[in-house]
Amino acid sequence: MVSNERTPDARGEFLAGCRDMAPVLVGTVPFGFVAGVAAVGAGMTPLEGIALSLFAFSGIAQLVVAQLVAAQSPVVLTLAAALIVSLRFLMYSAALSPHVAHLPARWRVPLAYLMTDQGFAMGVHIYSQPGDLRLRHWHVLGSGITLWVVWQSSVVAGAVLGAQVPAAWSLDFVVTLSFLVLLAPALRTRADLAAAVVAGAVVLLAAGLPYKLSLVVASLAGIAAGVAAEWMHKR
């Protein structure tokens, strides 16, 4: 053993993860509040709204479920819409899996549950940084728990306090902006751009469809457009 080798320190990694998540929380608080308000506004009890947040831990899935519950949609369609908006987790999961494949299931299960759009972006960034990677999952855990605590607290506040924020504040726009901030860096190639433009056009054209089917149709059309653009570029 080399005694002066810089050993990675689990506590230090964990706390660095908590700190690094801080800038993201500015968007998390109003978004969580809006999600809590939406659940109660859809006719759920505050307890149901909070339970939905604990089980799903996904802002957009919670909002989509709330909208479809409010519209009294069939359970199968509600869950299909939740699945469509969660498809991006498949891609995140595939991209992160090589970094955590060596960990036991007692680590991988909670890290999977805690993975969010923001957590994924930070995880990819943190695993690309130089240095000892052996304890970097503590960083992912710290950032994930930080986001989780702030998100759930904000949802509870929204579900309990209800719609006491004046509509003129347009707090719901934070939801759109939160995803817009993630969309911008996802557009790296012409094929990405094709996927986004087609999905954006189709979602407007299909806006009249019931049960948020526009989201499903537009997502699938966008994915197809991205694949087609890549294929045409390669020929």
> For residues 115-154, which are near another protein according to CB under 8 A?
115, 118
Residue 13 or 175: the one with the smaller Cβ distance to another protein is 175
Least separation in angstroms between residue 53's CB and another protein is: 9
User: Cβ closer to another protein: 7 or 93?
Assistant: 93
Smallest gap, in angstroms, from Cβ of residue 131 to another protein?
A: 20
Task: Give CA–CA dist 96/64, Å, rounded.
Answer: 26
Of the candidate residues 11, 19, 102, 173, the single one contacting another protein (CB under 8 A): 173
Least separation in angstroms between CB 34 and another protein: 12
CA dihedral 73, 78, 80, 85 (to 10 degrees): 130
218 part of the interface to another protein, by CB under 8 A:
yes
- Compute how many other C-beta atoms are within 10 angstroms of the C-beta atom of residue 118: 21
Site residues for another protein, window 7-36 (CB under 8 A)? 23-24, 26-27
Q: How many other β-carbons are positioned within 10 Å of the β-carbon of residue 164?
A: 7
Among 71, 124, 149, 207, binds another protein (CB under 8 A): 207
56-75: which residues touch another protein (CB under 8 A)? 56-58, 60-62, 65, 69, 75
The residue from 165, 182, 209, 213 that contacts another protein (CB under 8 A) is 182
Question: Is the Cβ of residue 9 or residue 183 nearer to another protein in the bound state?
Answer: 183
Q: Is 177 near another protein (CB under 8 A)? A: yes
Tell me if 48 contacts another protein by CB under 8 A. yes
> Which sign, positive or negative, has the C-alpha torsion 36, 154, 60, 201?
positive
Q: Please give the distance of CA 93 from its chain centroid, rounded to a whole number.
A: 12
- The gap from C-alpha 18 to its chain's centroid, in whole angstroms, comes to 17
Q: Which of 125, 160, 132, 141 is nearest to 50 (CA)?
A: 160
With H, G, I as helix, E, B as strand and everything else as coil, classify residue 75: helix
Helical (H) or strand (E) element with 67:
helix 59-70
Residue pair 13/40 in contact by the 8 Å Cβ criterion: no
Pick the closer one to another protein by CB: 157 or 224: 224
Can you tell me the distance from the alpha carbon of 174 to that of 157, in angstroms, rounded to the nearest whole number?
16
Nearer to another protein, 14 or 218 (CB): 218
Rounded distance between C-alpha atoms, residue 69 and residue 149, angstroms: 25
Of 38, 40, 44, 159, the residue at the interface with another protein (CB under 8 A) is 44
Residue 6 vs 188, nearer CB to another protein: 188
CA distance 66 to 151: 17
Q: How far is the CB of 4 from another protein (least distance, A)?
A: 35
